[in-house]
Amino acid sequence: VITVLCGGVGAARLLSLLQREATDFEFTAVVNVADDLVLHGLTICPDLDTVTYTLAKINNEVMGWGLVDETWRVNKELDKLGGQAWFQLGDRDLATHLYRTQRLAEGATKTEVAGELAAQHQVGLPILPVSDDHIATYLETDLGELSFQEYFVKHRHGVPVSKITFRGAEVATPTKEVLTALSTSEHIIIAPSNPLLSIAPILAVPGITDLLKARRQSIAAISPLIGGRALKGPADHLMSELGFESSSYGVAAYYGDLVGHWFIDEVDSDQVVRIEGLGATVTVLPTIMAEPTSASALAQGILSWLN
């Protein structure tokens, strides 16, 4: 059994690749909840939904988020009314948020709801929110403090950031399912998700980092930066804005002694020695998962580390 620390798209791509190519293994996803928001009274969990929709093969490849075959009638009406239409919710996608919100109101936990949605979509692996408690990312920017979705969606992650905080993380508790997964799984993989926005809020939940530090040799990570650039989203410029090198080495230095083995892209082969200097071993291989040959090379590399 292998536990994968997950944000949204980068993790969803990795999980579907592993589910397809590493059929001898079972995977558990531990997912960030600090992007979650309440809008129109609905609890929305973007990373949980991205992972669930992608594994169910109903994600929208073109948009990069949300559901396939989506329509936008509700959002258009909302826009006419002058409502909060900047955070686009598709008609099909709304059902997920209605379902989740109702179940939470009935007293279900986020973990239970994530399990129900995964089962309804016949996703073949457990999808676990890192915590059932409220955690919310806020960013200090040139425009003042922004909530995660204001930064990411309203301002299209284009505003320079000077500080990121995960409100509620320090008093949150990891769920018992997450602690069990992290302590009993043979290996742990940190997905190529945004280190500062997707993985950091998982590591900020008390108990998680200590547990991982004790297991360094069982932990591998895939760099989300290729040639210093993110394939999507703000990971590259956020690293520089917050004082880290925007490179695979920079990501490795940021995780420090949590990670025992690195998978980095071929174009970053010049960084192997520096990453080894952090006390990790390194595999250099193609890491772009949208490309079939490169994806299977990455899967083979991960499989040989697992075996």
Which residue is listed with tokens 């690749």? 17
Please give the residues from 277 up to 296 whose contact with ligand GDP meets the rule CB under 6 A: 287-290
Q: Locate 147 and state its tokens.
A: 């909530």
Is residue 137 a contact residue for ligand GDP (CB under 6 A)? no
Is residue 234 a contact residue for Ca ion (CB under 5 A)? no
**All residues at 6 or more sequence positions from 191 whose CB lies less than 8 Å from its CB, including other chains:** 4, 5, 6, 7, 10, 11, 14, 15, 198, 199, 222
CA triplet 256, 302, 200: central angle to 5 degrees?
35
Please give the residues from 36 up to 65 whose contact with ligand GDP meets the rule CB under 6 A: 47, 50
Query: Which is nearest to 94 in space by CA: 79, 74, 78, 76?
Result: 74
Least separation in angstroms between CB 138 and Ca ion: 15
- Candidates 5, 7, 29, 115; binder of Ca ion (CB under 5 A) is 7
233 binds, among ligand GDP, Ca ion, none (CB under 5 to 8 A by kind): ligand GDP
- x-marked contacts with ligand GDP along 240-279 as a string, rule CB under 6 A: ----------------------------------------
Write the CA distances from 180 to 40, 115, 130, 186, 201, integer angstroms. Answer: 35, 16, 12, 12, 19
* Neighbour count for residue 82 (Cβ, 10 Å): 7
Is residue 81 a contact residue for ligand GDP (CB under 6 A)? no
Q: How far apart are CA 23 and CA 52, in angstroms?
A: 18
Is residue 231 a contact residue for ligand GDP (CB under 6 A)? yes
Query: Which is nearest to 74 in space by CA: 52, 98, 57?
Result: 98
Please give the residues from 26 up to 65 whose contact with Ca ion meets the rule CB under 5 A: 35, 47
260 binds, among Ca ion, ligand GDP, none (CB under 5 to 8 A by kind): none
Name the residues that contact Ca ion, by CB under 5 A: 7-8, 35, 47
Name the residues that contact ligand GDP, by CB under 6 A: 7-11, 13, 47, 50, 192-194, 198, 222-224, 226, 230-233, 235, 287-290
